[in-house]
Structure 1
Amino acid sequence: MSSVKPTPEPIANRAGLPALRARAGRHPTFLAALRRGLADGSRPGLSELRSRDRDDFTLGLLDAWAATLDTLTFYAERQANEAYLRTATRRESVRAHARLIGYELAPAKAASCHLVFEAEPHDAPEAVLDYPPGLQVRSIPRDGELPQLFETVEPLLARAEWNAMRPLMAWPQVLAAGAEEIQLAQDAPRLALGDPLLLMQGEVPVATGSGDQAGFLRRVSGLRDGIGGRRILALRSDPASQPPYSFQPILQAIWMPGLAFSTSSMVALLAGHSWSVATLASASNFHSLTPREMRQAVQASDFRAEGPIRPAMLRIRAGFFGNTAAVKLLPANSGIGAPGAVTATAGQVGDTPPGNRAYLYLDRDYPEITAGQGLLIRNAANEAWLRIHAAETQGVEAYGLAAKVTRLEVDDKGLAPDGTLIALSGFTTRGSIAHALPEPLPLADLPITDPVGQAAGALGADQVEIATPELQLMPGKVLAITGERADLAGVAAAEIRVLAQNLIVGDHSLLTFTQPLAHRYVRATVRLSANVALATHGETVAEVLGDGDATRTFQRFRLKSGPLTHVSARNARGMVPAIEVRVNRIRWDLMEDFRAAGPQDRVWLLRIEEDGSAHVVFGDGLRGARLPTGQGNVEAVYRRGAGLSGHLEAGQLSLLATKPAGLKAVTNPLPPAGGADAERLEDARRNAPMGVLTLGRAVSLRDYEDFARGFAAVAKARADWTFDGFARPILVTVAGQGGAILPEAGDDMQNLRAALLAAGESDLRVGLRNYRPVGFGLAARLFADPGHMPEDVIEAARRTVLAAFSFDARELGQGVSQAQVIAALQSAPGVVGVDLDALYTGDTPQLRPRLTAALGRPDLAGALPVAAELLTLDPTRLHLEVAA
């Protein structure tokens, strides 16, 4: 029996190794074993081969066989590794293993963003321009970049008025009955201290005070200049605070049959209410009003439930005829024991003709006073407000006087400040004064200084008032909000929000979004645009794939352009290919495999190969229908372009590749997100078994993690139990490829949320949040091998430790210890020792034994749950030096 071992090297593999050892030997061991065999006594035929010279033919032949065995065992080991999913290194091997369990490696996915278009003014201002999907926009490349093309995937409704809507900058000044201060507009007439004023509500003055202190008349007690030319008046009145400006609730519209619907009748119907645009649109359609007519009706309406209180200055102060007549006293010895002196002019003002009217004679002619005006008469104890029914000039002789005066016909009772009617008999000619010709004073609008996005008064953080009534902004419309952040001076921000409600309130709109704004904005810098459409990376290509042949099975066609665009979708993979295949102009449907297809089913499969090319595969007549014979009858319309190359900066998408009439500019206020390169091998090894592990359902925390991690654009995921005070919902934290933050309102997050709910328990609440990136710093002294240059050692250690604690190498909720940092640094070439000086988060360097990353948890303040953290090394806080 031979004493030479057939296997010079033992073959043994412990569990969990990244690669298998399966080589029986290498060239040196094979050559040594063959040379030992020459001296083996059990092989007498080899005893004559005694030469050990390297140039000997026999030794040369053994060397050749050793090289052959080395080559064979190398490839045998590679084949052994490629036979297992964990150890396979070639993409085609991993793909083949995944296909055995029905898993396809994820192709590249297109990024998406909302584009904001600028529309040109239209001849018809109320016209809404409708553009179909497919508007192409090209990026302006930065250094080292190529231009990227994006296409809109939804219709665009645009108006020039929607380019840059401004928030409401001021609201009407609302006066209370007891207002003690008012702000007049810049063009208001000049007033002086002591001038009389009335606060009018409609045609009636508003009283202040109560009991004996009640009265209509106010006096200007103070004057000062305000901002923007406003004049601020202080009034003598009871102190009262001005109520905040508020919006009236929506009232149900009741359209009465047979109503003559005109602008004036619309004004009457709208007054006192605020209206949703849906209600107004229904009324407009029912009564055949154009958008312009509806806008005119709305802007002409006063949307207050009661008439507003307006100040009015009293232009005329008049006495009554006879108040200057000489006083004639009765003789003391007349025998009449009067308690006081009586004069002829001490009686009531005016005359009382038959009926309920009275005539008042003013002290002279006032041609400015006409019928229909109001009149305030007052004495030391009472006031009365009267309506003038008629005014005429008359000559009067009485009390020893003759004059040409104004005679007023009024009711014989007037409105007292306490709301009752008071007889004119209490007002005497000599002791009463008349104030007439009330002239309305224009009020200044009050500036709004609250930041947009901040809950204030009746408004919430999800509401914005815009300065115009936009009747055609319907719920569901997407708006872009841009402006300077109120908490960070000079820092601009942008958000995309969906309109939930649009209330028309007077001359402006109150917009309510489905979600609150994430930031607070300086009001003067805010612009809102409704010319918004969703776009994804890629361009549309129409292509004839080839000829159908009914004699062939599993016909296969390769798309000439690529990579094929995949867009976000609500399925387990989170995306679908953007392609449509037609045969003889009839659409055929995409399937994942042919197992469920019958002989007549017009279906096809999509296969992505190692080079990224896409192939369309048809059935064999048993599993899926064969293609009918025809020339050029197999066509496809698809989109090409995907991957992280679509992750651009905000504002880069600014070139209209297609220039339809009516659009002149475009931009992207937010950077595109959600793109992903083709699935990496490490991710494929981890994600491929998911389907057979969960069978399309999510039950345990691990199931939710695996499900979310296998979703397109998601690189990392973690699931944690939380508690909201009533139940234990699950919080799933996700991170995009390369550490990207997925937009909360974007398609990827919405589709993942819907997919998790569909795959999980129906009565289990699931939250979804973006991860919280946390950077840490470290400082260390390195002991270098004397044979290495210090700068080379530092650079090698820097690369090694940054790779060890990069986004790709870390997991959500994973901590960092001193031992891990030291081990990573010592693995760098030329490093023989490490003295760690600092390991910290935050801004203060300190040496901590371990850094912890927070897991998903409920927010103790009662808000949304707090997502898990991901600890990565911050390059700006990495300090290395070589010890002397």
Structure 2
Amino acid sequence: MSTATDLTRWNRAGLSRFRYVDGNAVTFLELLRAELAERFPAWQEVTQLPLAETESERQERMLEQYHAPRRDWAWEITRVLARSSHVLAEHLDAYANEGFLGTATQWDTVRRLVEMIDYHPAPPASAATRFVIEAKEAGTLAAGFAVKHTPADGSPPVVYETLEELKVDPLLNALRSAEYNRNPERLGGDTLLLEGEVEDLKTGEPLVLEDEQSGVLRAYLIVGTRTVAGNTEVRVTPRLSHRLRKGYTLIHAKPAEGLAPIGPAAKGAELERVLRLTEEPEGLLTGAVIYIDDGAEELYRRVYSVTGKRLVLDTDVGPLRLDTARVGYPVTITVSAQEERPVDSPGSVIYALRVAGDWSRLADRRVVQETVDATKQKHLPFYTVTAARYHPADSDHLRKGYTILTVSWLKSEHPFPLDNPQTLLVPPVGVGPWRTDTFLEKQDGHLTAAIVTAKPKKTTVGDLAVVVMGHQAAWARLASVSVDLAREEATLTAEDGWDDRGGGDFFLTETKVYAHFKEALRTVAWQENRQPVTGNRIPLALVPSALEKGRVLMVERTDDATAAFFTTVARIEGTTLVLARDLPAGFTRGNTLIAGNVALAGHGESKGEKVLGSGDATRANQSFVFAEAEVSFVADPTQPAGVRAAIDLSVAGRVWKQVGSFADSGPTDHHYTVRMTEAGQLLIAFGDGVRGRRLPSGVNNVRVTFRSGTGLSGNLPAGSPFKPSRPHRLVEKVRQPLPATGGNDREGVESLRENAPATLLTLERAVSLDDFAWLAMSQSSVWQARAFSRPTGLGRNEKVEVVAVPAGGGALGTLAATLTDFLTANAVPEVEVTVLPYQSRTFALEVLLTVDTAAYNPDVVTAAVKSALQDAFSLRKRKLGQDLFLSEVYQVVEGVTGVEHSVAVINGDRSVRRVAAGDREVLILGQLVVAVEGEAATGPSPGEAIEASPPAPKPRLVGRRGVGVIQGVGDRYGQLLRGAGIRTLNDLRGIDPAHLPTVDIPPVRLWEFRTKAEIVVGLAADRSRLAPLLERTIHDLAEGSSADLVRLTGESAAAVDELKAKLRLLQIALDEEVFAAVTLRELLSELD
């Protein structure tokens, strides 16, 4: 062996082991040769050496000496001895390294080393979560209720059991906020957006809007309809009442019957200038004079306007019997002469007029003379024929063939004398051709409760009915429908009278009674209540009696599964639930779901009782190995590692208590400790009679029941499907809103090496910030932690925040409360401890390798580099707040066999040398692209024909928009494109996907994005010809009426259809929100 005393020349910084042996089989053989040469000078094979040799020559000679074949048994024995010494020396070297904590690699060796400072490896931990139980009936669900999750990858099922007793109640399955499914927004304007595509809505028909809270009905008339994004937009008149709320408005539509009203009809009325007829007066022109006769009154009026059946006259009509009045044209007669001078008296003037023919029927009738006053205003003054004497043509009278009319003018009625009239307007023979229209009677300004209509076919009691004439309406719910079969009519009686709008009369021929509405419709989003819920107070629709103070609740958002959290009931105030903590932002009445049947559950399945062994009172510190793997461990803040074995140990029927150590145990305390063996089994030890009670003697008197299930496999994401292992009468199903966290494997060598020395500083008590961090990391469910001091504010207690990375990563879940209890139990008094989740931030990495392809397979090297990078920059290896340096990347990459050279780029920026991490952040590898220099890029093969691209159009304003407006780009691809300098649509349409090797986007997607950008930027359309449409959005143009576009632009229908086809193509290219907002002007405006 070497006599040198310096054995450290092989030990330098950066090595993971000490080298205690200076030599190997070659050097050992040379040492043996030297000794043999001294003892056997005549042995030429060992004594013949060069007189002078350099160090390199010496090493070459030694290698040749070791490998050269010799037919000398003594030499072969010597070489075997050298080799055996080499094996023994390497064993001694390895064993010596196992004696130092920094170089030991074997778990059991490390365990024995750390036991010297009374540190014991942290046992594995079982994951825990809170399950939401949907109960079928009320009752008590005992602890140990088992549910099972079967992984999709075929791995063994994961069993969880509830850890506490729970009183379940079906009323607590899903508590909702008051009005959670009713939209409180007020209606307004003249537009209703109805759910779905509603067919057969007719313009002019009524809709009845029912307020479900108050029962108030309101009728509106349909003005127009159109389909908008799969829903139906209805314009109504008049404007909607702001008293209506979307969530409480039921819209009755599609009346099955339109009945003609019959009565009760008004017989007479005091009319103003408007007169309505039962039919349109064919041929009646504006300016014409009409004759009105109701049997009691004769009237002459000039027609001012004619609109359908509605006549507007020059003066008021006055009292008129509408049920008997007829309207026709007056007859014009010519006055031949005035027989005598008028007889003038103080109140009247008598005229005698001669007219040809027999007009004796005019006696006691009214006649008028068309008169124009000095201002050229036309008048129709009337006069009364008091006598009409006809002289037959075959008589001998001087005025034979004429009628002498005696006409009286009352001066009090008008100021127009009958001076030398040339013609007169007189009543026609018989009745006029047109009847006046009457209207439904009113009482106190409203329709009478009962109206008579034509016989209905479907209308019945409880139906809604709306009386409509023009834009006015009256509506009611029917209390009764009485049908008169003989008269083919029915009496409709309103439940609480008729409500109306418009105030006018309902004329029979222009009025229709709509009844029996077939469909009840809703507005879009009528069940969405977006009213925010803040603070810790939630008004409930129902408060079950089982909702008591202290009960654990799961508060969820129906639109965001990640927002779920658990809390407790602070108190109940009437129908208001007060939580123990405030709600985070984003909760509304509509999306808040509260589950009241919440049970804490842990990974593991209960097993039957087993005999651990027999007690022997003569033995101190008796121990047993419980030969069961994967025994569950549950959270327990009193234990050194924050967890205890999920076992129940009894001795002769008495249950003993599990403790972390016997340091505080007395001689009569029924305590035992649990340690882990290298095989993953439990070593259960008992006291020595001084520290902890000895086991009493007995046969098989030490028995154990336990739960089996532990490790990282129990960490399941939220929403994992579970079902009861066995049906239970109280349980319908089980949900897992929160992730299952806290599961971890047994503490490994690296963790032991790091955590064990820290216990000498903490002594299981947290005083400094480092103590809190080390103590948190000693908890079996935690991978790493950091502690921070926070301002105390107005309080007296110190505040410490501990940021923890749970085993397996992800959310803290129930571990937050468990770890808080553990730290609080081991902290100095008057310290407030808050456990916060870590934040994971990823970075992108691109690596270009140079590989000696003659010696190494590039694919194998690439895979090895990827694996090394993913391991080195994983959550398990990176530290909280640890910055990332480019040199770290090179250290990992170039440490892989086969890599000759490499170039690494972080986040697409070649200038980045360091990425800083926040206090609560862990920087881990996200997107990774590894390529080998010289590999062919994806794209067209060499020599493949490529079609010439059309000339690029002039740049347009829309081209300045970011790449995120393209459908399918999203946040992930958008970030990658921007990292490569591709920020706008103009940039995107100019790329060559075959020459972007550093962008980790499939070439097919790059071609897709480029094509979509070309479609958007290169829209072909004549801006000048589409000027009337420039301010409209392309969504409205694509979905709008073609007829409207033809009318606005003056273009042909074919041209408009072609434009709409191009715009619909943009719907494929553009993001949905952008497509709804961008205008045609932006699309077609060119940049200078």
Q: Is TM-score (shorter-chain normalized) higher than 0.5? A: yes
User: Does the alignment pair 1:29 with 2:27?
Assistant: yes
Change over 3 Å in CA distance of 1:651–1:755 after alignment to 2: closer
**Aligned counterpart for 2:159 among listed residues 119, 142, 149:** 149
CA deviation string 1:25-71 (max 9, x = no partner): 2111101211122223xxxx422333467221211121122122112
**Alignment partner, residue 704 of structure 1:** 772
CA distance in 2, matches of 1:663, 1:631: 42
| Kept after mapping to 1: 8 A contact 2:636/2:822 | no
Change over 3 Å in CA distance of 1:27–1:467 after alignment to 2: same
**Alignment partner, residue 850 of structure 2:** 783
**Alignment partner, residue 173 of structure 2:** 163
SS in 1 for 2:215: coil
**Alignment partner, residue 473 of structure 1:** 547
SS in 1 for 2:44: coil
**Alignment partner, residue 19 of structure 1:** 17
Change over 3 Å in CA distance of 1:188–1:883 after alignment to 2: same
Q: Which amino acid aligns with 2:126?
A: A
Q: Which amino acid aligns with 2:155?
A: E
CA distance in 2, matches of 1:800, 1:73: 32
**Alignment partner, residue 215 of structure 2:** 188
In the TM superposition, residue 656 of structure 1 has moved relative to its aligned partner by 1.2
SS in 2 for 1:688: helix
Structure showing greater relative contact order (alpha-carbon pairs closer than 8 Å, 6 or more residues apart): 1
| Kept after mapping to 1: 8 A contact 2:668/2:692 | yes
**Alignment partner, residue 564 of structure 1:** 631
**Alignment partner, residue 298 of structure 1:** none
Q: Give 5+ residue unaligned stretches, structure 2.
A: 47-68, 185-208, 221-237, 252-443, 450-521, 936-1088
Q: Which amino acid aligns with 1:476?
A: G
| Kept after mapping to 2: 8 A contact 1:797/1:829 | no
Q: Which amino acid aligns with 1:157?
A: K
More deviation, 183-192/779-788: 183-192
| Kept after mapping to 1: 8 A contact 2:211/2:217 | no
User: Does the alignment pair 1:810 with 2:837?
Assistant: no
Q: Which amino acid aligns with 2:649?
A: V
In the TM superposition, residue 754 of structure 1 has moved relative to its aligned partner by 3.5
CA deviation string 1:82-137 (max 9, x = no partner): 1111111111111111111111101110100111222224xxxxxx4112211111
User: Does the alignment pair 1:589 with 2:640?
Assistant: no
CA distance in 2, matches of 1:173, 1:16: 67
User: Does the alignment pair 1:850 with 2:913?
Assistant: yes
**Alignment partner, residue 573 of structure 1:** 641
CA distance in 1, matches of 2:631, 2:181: 53
CA distance in 1, matches of 2:915, 2:770: 21
| Kept after mapping to 1: 8 A contact 2:182/2:527 | no
User: Does the alignment pair 1:46 with 2:32?
Assistant: no
Give the share of equivalent positions with the same residue, in percent: 29
**Alignment partner, residue 497 of structure 1:** 566
User: Does the alignment pair 1:120 with 2:188?
Assistant: no
In the TM superposition, residue 75 of structure 1 has moved relative to its aligned partner by 1.6
Change over 3 Å in CA distance of 1:72–1:9 after alignment to 2: farther
**Aligned counterpart for 1:873 among listed residues 909, 925, 930:** 925
| Kept after mapping to 1: 8 A contact 2:123/2:641 | no
CA distance in 2, matches of 1:706, 1:158: 40
Change over 3 Å in CA distance of 1:66–1:95 after alignment to 2: same
**Aligned counterpart for 1:555 among listed residues 622, 631, 639:** 622
**Alignment partner, residue 131 of structure 1:** 141
**Superposed CA RMSD:** 3.5
Change over 3 Å in CA distance of 1:600–1:159 after alignment to 2: closer
SS in 1 for 2:783: strand
CA distance in 2, matches of 1:553, 1:759: 30
**Alignment partner, residue 82 of structure 1:** 98
Change over 3 Å in CA distance of 1:165–1:20 after alignment to 2: same
More deviation, 469-478/750-759: 750-759
**Alignment partner, residue 127 of structure 2:** 111
**Aligned counterpart for 2:841 among listed residues 766, 774, 780:** 774
In the TM superposition, residue 543 of structure 1 has moved relative to its aligned partner by 1.8
Query: 1:295-334 residue pairs with structure 2 within 5 A?
Result: none
**Alignment partner, residue 739 of structure 1:** 809
**Alignment partner, residue 531 of structure 1:** 597
TM-score (norm. length: structure 2): 0.51
Q: Which amino acid aligns with 2:923?
A: L
| Kept after mapping to 2: 8 A contact 1:853/1:870 | no
More deviation, 621-630/802-811: 621-630
Change over 3 Å in CA distance of 1:191–1:103 after alignment to 2: closer
CA distance in 1, matches of 2:698, 2:740: 42
CA distance in 2, matches of 1:55, 1:785: 42
**Alignment partner, residue 296 of structure 2:** none
| Kept after mapping to 2: 8 A contact 1:117/1:531 | yes
SS in 1 for 2:113: helix
Q: Which amino acid aligns with 2:604?
A: G
CA distance in 2, matches of 1:89, 1:786: 35
In the TM superposition, residue 447 of structure 1 has moved relative to its aligned partner by 7.6
In the TM superposition, residue 774 of structure 1 has moved relative to its aligned partner by 0.3
Query: 1:398-413 residue pairs with structure 2 within 5 A?
Result: none
In the TM superposition, residue 641 of structure 1 has moved relative to its aligned partner by 1.3
**Aligned counterpart for 1:67 among listed residues 83, 94, 97:** 83
Name the count of aligned residue pairs. 596
CA deviation string 1:812-847 (max 9, x = no partner): 1111122222232222222211223x312xxxx323
Kindly name which structure, 1 or 2, has the bigger radius of gyration based on alpha carbons. Answer: 2
CA distance in 1, matches of 2:887, 2:241: 75
SS in 2 for 1:113: strand
**Alignment partner, residue 636 of structure 1:** 704
Change over 3 Å in CA distance of 1:710–1:188 after alignment to 2: closer
TM-score (norm. length: structure 1): 0.62
**Alignment partner, residue 356 of structure 1:** none
CA distance in 2, matches of 1:808, 1:173: 47
In the TM superposition, residue 690 of structure 1 has moved relative to its aligned partner by 2.2
CA distance in 1, matches of 2:551, 2:541: 18
Change over 3 Å in CA distance of 1:569–1:628 after alignment to 2: closer
| Kept after mapping to 2: 8 A contact 1:451/1:520 | no
Q: Which amino acid aligns with 1:849?
A: V
Query: 1:593-632 residue pairs with structure 2 within 5 A?
Result: 593-594=661-662, 597-621=665-689, 623-632=691-700
**Alignment partner, residue 819 of structure 1:** 887
CA distance in 2, matches of 1:647, 1:534: 15
CA distance in 1, matches of 2:572, 2:210: 28
**Alignment partner, residue 342 of structure 2:** none
CA distance in 2, matches of 1:657, 1:51: 80
| Kept after mapping to 1: 8 A contact 2:169/2:546 | no
| Kept after mapping to 1: 8 A contact 2:180/2:589 | no
CA distance in 2, matches of 1:536, 1:191: 57
CA distance in 1, matches of 2:175, 2:248: 26
In the TM superposition, residue 758 of structure 1 has moved relative to its aligned partner by 4.5
**Alignment partner, residue 403 of structure 2:** none
CA distance in 1, matches of 2:240, 2:721: 57
In the TM superposition, residue 14 of structure 1 has moved relative to its aligned partner by 4.5
Q: Give 5+ residue unaligned stretches, structure 1.
A: 122-127, 175-181, 194-219, 233-362, 369-443, 486-490, 857-867
Change over 3 Å in CA distance of 1:465–1:830 after alignment to 2: same
Change over 3 Å in CA distance of 1:805–1:560 after alignment to 2: closer
CA distance in 2, matches of 1:688, 1:169: 57
| Kept after mapping to 1: 8 A contact 2:803/2:838 | yes
User: Does the alignment pair 1:484 with 2:550?
Assistant: no
| Kept after mapping to 2: 8 A contact 1:479/1:531 | yes
In the TM superposition, residue 620 of structure 1 has moved relative to its aligned partner by 4.2
CA distance in 2, matches of 1:701, 1:581: 37
Change over 3 Å in CA distance of 1:584–1:190 after alignment to 2: closer
Q: Which amino acid aligns with 2:850?
A: F
**Alignment partner, residue 719 of structure 1:** 787
Query: 1:406-485 residue pairs with structure 2 within 5 A?
Result: 450-451=529-530, 454-455=532-533, 460-485=534-559
CA distance in 2, matches of 1:79, 1:28: 22
**Alignment partner, residue 193 of structure 2:** none
